[in-house]
Chains A and B, each alone.
Chain A
């Protein structure tokens, strides 16, 4: 592992670019993310690992068989978000159609509640693989469900008010030993809340 700190955070300069051509894994630390107190400030779109093919079979057998699929959908979601952000900068998020707002909402959840970790928190500082997997899975379920809900005319503001959403945000700090039970409860609550919202909307 080695660090390259290009002046001014400009990755286009030669040292960074020549390093990139040789390494197979790259974590891009991003000053903007650090300013926003997004830690660890690893830019998810610029970073990459060329070992994905090799490592995904390990995750799929040792941790959970959906891992590669979950990882890919999450990545797709984040990529879509960055494309939408350019428009949001011009017209604001409220001007977007409901489906796009739901995408933004799910991507924000990924960013704030999955990609960020507090290194000084007793529990959050280390997240075991199985817990990462479950968190990612529940957030994927959330993304899928709210997309379905807005399709059935549920208003996005009502979705954001859901209690389970807050609990998902707290998943990172649930004890690493007893998280499975707690997560199941959260998923159940998410289910019932979404269902009642869809019923109301009818």
Chain B
């Protein structure tokens, strides 16, 4: 360790975001490098590859202006660390973790490795606490729970940022007063988009419990690689040391993957699918897997990564690999957006894998699971009929089919569509669902337990008689009901 004060002036090559230093000793992988340029400016780098006497260093601030003669590098003997403190709330940091809000530097309580400590699988607590976002399509059909990672798959020009800030504004766990914090990590988004979030957080007073890490579109690309890691380090500190419920918004993961590709290309690695490195899956997993809850700790980290699917293509490597790791996805659709439906959430390809454990009696309401299944089934049926009706006309449909067709339209109009400041409670969401069921024949509600139908279905006098008649044959379909516990 004695040689850690050595300053090397043996830079032999600068290529893209990378710099090569030769004739070195005792350099370790991932070690941080302090770089001094010819005019005395300090930059930070990280060892990407360590050979016997040679190291490849990525330079976070960019390699502009570096030369091979006068540039010097010092390896500091430790990996990248971030100073953390509860004071980070309400502050804004740049891509290397320095404050950019004109307030003094924070005094760190601790310095943490930004690569984090993987959570021991045994001490992971199963996420099961319902988070109410106030958005019907999420709460009712794709419920978010504490400690979950649920990405939003979007496209250029769709209102995903608006939706993310609505979720950040409205998210709460019912019946509990707990410390809540938002960690916002912006990778390569425009200044205007960042302003939208800041303005929104300011208006609702959320700014003082928000920590922001900003790397805007015109900031160095390489910083995007470490930015989510720093944001998550801050989030882990707030959650597991300060007992806070932390919501992490990562936008836009597509820009992160592009940065990954840029470095891989500069290192002349063998490209994988569409030029992205073969280890992109592992790399994304290292970020997404930092969500969760730990046994014995009060806090939690819930992640909402946003990504724009290039050309709206869900098979593109970025959404594809993300979907393998995360616990479901929320998918936005251009067609709905053009039909003036906000949020334009295309319900059918959406999924929340952790929903089952987070809903039901004592969590949301006992009929929740049945209502969600029935809404999905009826909407899917109505949606299929849309193609058919365009060919044969509505008149050729049976009475039953016509009702399902109408259901699909009503579903989009009443259930999916809502105002961007409308905060619907889960009870309101379920009530809208039940009101929609009232338009269908009662005998078609096969996915809901008979006793809930009796309890919640709004019935007018005319239907009551028929309702009694159909009762016997619907109760036989009980096996369809999922465990509503």
Given the known A-B contacts A12-B311, A84-B390, are A20 and B335 also in contact in the complex, defined by CB atoms under 8 Å?
Answer: no
**A83 to chain B: which residues have CB within 8 Å?**
335, 390
B139 in contact (CB, < 8 A) = no
The answer to whether A12 touches B313, judged by C-beta atoms less than 8 angstroms apart, is: yes
Given the known A-B contacts A87-B390, A96-B390, are A17 and B339 also in contact in the complex, defined by CB atoms under 8 Å?
Answer: no
The answer to whether B157 touches A26, judged by C-beta atoms less than 8 angstroms apart, is: yes
**B311 to chain A: which residues have CB within 8 Å?**
11-12, 17
**B190 to chain A: which residues have CB within 8 Å?**
22, 24
The answer to whether B395 touches A97, judged by C-beta atoms less than 8 angstroms apart, is: yes
The answer to whether A22 touches B339, judged by C-beta atoms less than 8 angstroms apart, is: no
The answer to whether A26 touches B156, judged by C-beta atoms less than 8 angstroms apart, is: yes
**B394 to chain A: which residues have CB within 8 Å?**
97, 99
A79 in contact (CB, < 8 A) = yes
B217 in contact (CB, < 8 A) = yes
Per the bound structure, the CA–CA distance linking A17 and B318 in Å amounts to 14
Per the bound structure, the CA–CA distance linking A26 and B338 in Å amounts to 14
Closest to A97 in B: B393
Residues A74-101 near B (CB distance < 8 A): 75-76, 78-80, 83-84, 87, 91, 95-100
Given the known A-B contacts A75-B339, A87-B387, are A20 and B392 also in contact in the complex, defined by CB atoms under 8 Å?
Answer: no
Given the known A-B contacts A87-B391, A99-B393, are A21 and B254 also in contact in the complex, defined by CB atoms under 8 Å?
Answer: yes
Given the known A-B contacts A75-B338, A79-B338, are A96 and B254 also in contact in the complex, defined by CB atoms under 8 Å?
Answer: no
The answer to whether A91 touches B391, judged by C-beta atoms less than 8 angstroms apart, is: yes
**B192 to chain A: which residues have CB within 8 Å?**
24
**In the assembled complex, how far is the CB of residue B275 from the closest CB belonging to chain A, in whole angstroms?**
9
Per the bound structure, the CA–CA distance linking A79 and B192 in Å amounts to 28
B: number of interface residues (CB 8 Å) = 29
A196 in contact (CB, < 8 A) = no
Main secondary structure of the interface of B (DSSP, over half): helix
The answer to whether A72 touches B340, judged by C-beta atoms less than 8 angstroms apart, is: yes
**A91 to chain B: which residues have CB within 8 Å?**
391
Chain A interface size range: 20 to 34
**B389 to chain A: which residues have CB within 8 Å?**
97
Per the bound structure, the CA–CA distance linking A18 and B252 in Å amounts to 12
Per the bound structure, the CA–CA distance linking A99 and B387 in Å amounts to 14
B215 in contact (CB, < 8 A) = no
Given the known A-B contacts A97-B394, A99-B394, are A75 and B156 also in contact in the complex, defined by CB atoms under 8 Å?
Answer: no
Given the known A-B contacts A87-B387, A97-B394, are A50 and B157 also in contact in the complex, defined by CB atoms under 8 Å?
Answer: yes
Given the known A-B contacts A22-B190, A79-B335, are A48 and B313 also in contact in the complex, defined by CB atoms under 8 Å?
Answer: no
Closest to A24 in B: B192
Given the known A-B contacts A17-B156, A20-B156, are A45 and B338 also in contact in the complex, defined by CB atoms under 8 Å?
Answer: yes
**B387 to chain A: which residues have CB within 8 Å?**
87
Residues A32-89 near B (CB distance < 8 A): 45, 48, 50, 72, 75-76, 78-80, 83-84, 87
Main secondary structure of the interface of A (DSSP, over half): helix
**In the assembled complex, how far is the CB of residue B279 from the closest CB belonging to chain A, in whole angstroms?**
20
**B252 to chain A: which residues have CB within 8 Å?**
21
**B396 to chain A: which residues have CB within 8 Å?**
97
Given the known A-B contacts A17-B311, A21-B255, A79-B339, are A100 and B156 also in contact in the complex, defined by CB atoms under 8 Å?
Answer: no
Per the bound structure, the CA–CA distance linking A91 and B392 in Å amounts to 11
**In the assembled complex, how far is the CB of residue B289 from the closest CB belonging to chain A, in whole angstroms?**
25
**A48 to chain B: which residues have CB within 8 Å?**
156-157
Q: A-facing mask of B143-163, CB < 8 A → 1, else 0? A: 000000000000011010000
B323 in contact (CB, < 8 A) = no
Interface centre among B190, B313, B338 (most CB of A within 10 A): B338
Per the bound structure, the CA–CA distance linking A95 and B393 in Å amounts to 9
The answer to whether B391 touches A12, judged by C-beta atoms less than 8 angstroms apart, is: no
Per the bound structure, the CA–CA distance linking A26 and B158 in Å amounts to 12
Per the bound structure, the CA–CA distance linking A50 and B156 in Å amounts to 10
**In the assembled complex, how far is the CB of residue A15 from the closest CB belonging to chain B, in whole angstroms?**
11
B308 in contact (CB, < 8 A) = yes
B49 in contact (CB, < 8 A) = no
Can you sample 26 A-B contacts with CB below 8 Å?
A: A14-B310, A18-B258, A20-B156, A21-B156, A21-B188, A21-B255, A22-B190, A24-B190, A24-B192, A50-B159, A75-B340, A76-B339, A78-B338, A79-B338, A79-B339, A80-B339, A87-B387, A87-B391, A96-B390, A96-B391, A96-B393, A97-B394, A97-B395, A98-B393, A99-B393, A100-B393
- Which B residues fall within an 8 A CB radius of A? 156-157, 159, 188, 190, 192, 217, 252, 254-255, 258, 308, 310-311, 313, 334-335, 338-340, 387, 389-396
19 further interface pairs, Cβ-Cβ under 8 Å (given A17-B310, A80-B339): A11-B311, A12-B311, A14-B310, A20-B156, A20-B308, A21-B252, A21-B254, A26-B156, A26-B157, A50-B159, A72-B340, A75-B340, A83-B390, A91-B391, A96-B390, A96-B393, A97-B390, A98-B393, A100-B393
- Which A residues fall within an 8 A CB radius of B? 11-12, 14, 17-18, 20-22, 24, 26, 45, 48, 50, 72, 75-76, 78-80, 83-84, 87, 91, 95-100
